[in-house]
Amino acid sequence: MAVKVIIPTPLRAYAGKQESVEVQAATVGEALSGLTSKFGDLKKHLFTEEGKLRSFVNVYVNDEDIRYLQKDQTQVREGDTISIVPSIAGGISAK
């Protein structure tokens, strides 16, 4: 099944400057694996050396957080959209 993976702006440099990529997958894990096999430089930004999704990387299927579904085993269907959303910290504290 073809699913669309949305690439966040900070990671587009590692994905051929593309906003989104279509991959064939039945689960979120398969989709991310397909994405990182297509764009190898993305892997270190999404996964730890142990192969786990980095804690600051949030993944959504059609706006649902996979942490509250079946994580990387979450099933996807034809036409689903997977969004990768890295957590961003920073700013200045008000005094």
pLDDT one-digit tens code per residue, 35-46: 999 999 999 999
Give the residue-averaged pLDDT of 19-43. 96
- Does position 79 have pLDDT exceeding 70, yes or no? yes
Beta strands, E only, the chain: 2-6, 20-24, 57-61, 64-65, 81-86
Regarding the domain delimited by 2-86, which CATH topology (the fold level of the hierarchy) does it fall under?
Answer: Ubiquitin-like (UB roll) (3.10.20)
Closest of 18, 1, 2 to residue 84, by C-alpha: 18
Give the residue-averaged pLDDT of 9-17. 95
